[in-house]
A and B are shown apart, each in its own frame.
Chain A
Amino acid sequence: MIMKIHVYAKLKDFFSPEFELNAVARNTDELKLRLLEINEGAKNILDSCRFAIEEGFIDHDHKLKENDTVIIIPPSSGG
């Protein structure tokens, strides 16, 4: 199962800004586990992130599909 992953801000200290992930991740909980297998140092920041597809946030049990582009959203710090 291949998905595109986009990360921002502090997450770029742990992952490339955009990359393809070839792994089984049926929802964002499983996606987090797959990402921690790549870099376990990202645990704290990943635990505080939300996930989005296109223009909407998704819940932890949202079913991910092949070729989804998943956006990982750290806590905001605008303004």
Chain B
Amino acid sequence: MIQSSSSPLPAEVNGSPLGTIQVISAKPLDIVDLLSQAHHPGAGAVVLFSGEVRDSNKGREVTCLEYESYVPLAVKIIHDILAEAREKWGLKVAIAQHRIGRLSIGESAVVVITTAAHRREAYEANQHIIHRIKHEVPIWKCEYFSDGGHQWGNNCNC
């Protein structure tokens, strides 16, 4: 995407109270649209992570996932995580959006975008943000299997 240097560009996105991107979304995540909001003239590196629904887990065939969240607290915590990461790594833009509801195989469940002057900061910050989202934010995944069973996740595999 080419963006004119005269365009108004955010120094930060949804880590800010002024951000317009909802960090929790019941609608499919639009990765291209999110990426289009991440460009910044001071950023030489843009890292985008998309966590997507896999078709198997520990040998069982997964048919779909369902995510639920205690949204008021999830929003606050994600904002805090993004703000801390922006400060620590000097990010130009930090975006995170997590899906709730039922997702099919291959859909994006969570997107994290970090932009910085150089790639090291963008990569490190991105990993830090997704790690904290998985462990700290009140969002829960339920896996539905082809054998008819389902299982709530209670920790992560990383």
Contacts and interface: CB of A to CB of B under 8 A. Distances in A.
Contacts, number: 75
A78 B110 contact: yes
Contacts of B156: 77, 79
Given A74-B140, A76-B134, A77-B154, 17 more contacts: A8-B69, A8-B138, A8-B140, A9-B140, A9-B152, A9-B154, A10-B140, A10-B152, A52-B138, A55-B73, A73-B73, A74-B152, A74-B154, A76-B135, A77-B141, A78-B140, A79-B110
A7 to B, nearest CB: 10
Interface in B7-63: 51
Contact of A78 (B69, B72, B73, B76): B69
A78 B155 contact: no
Interface in A34-79: 45, 48, 52, 54-57, 71, 73-79
B73 A52 contact: yes
A75 B155 contact: yes
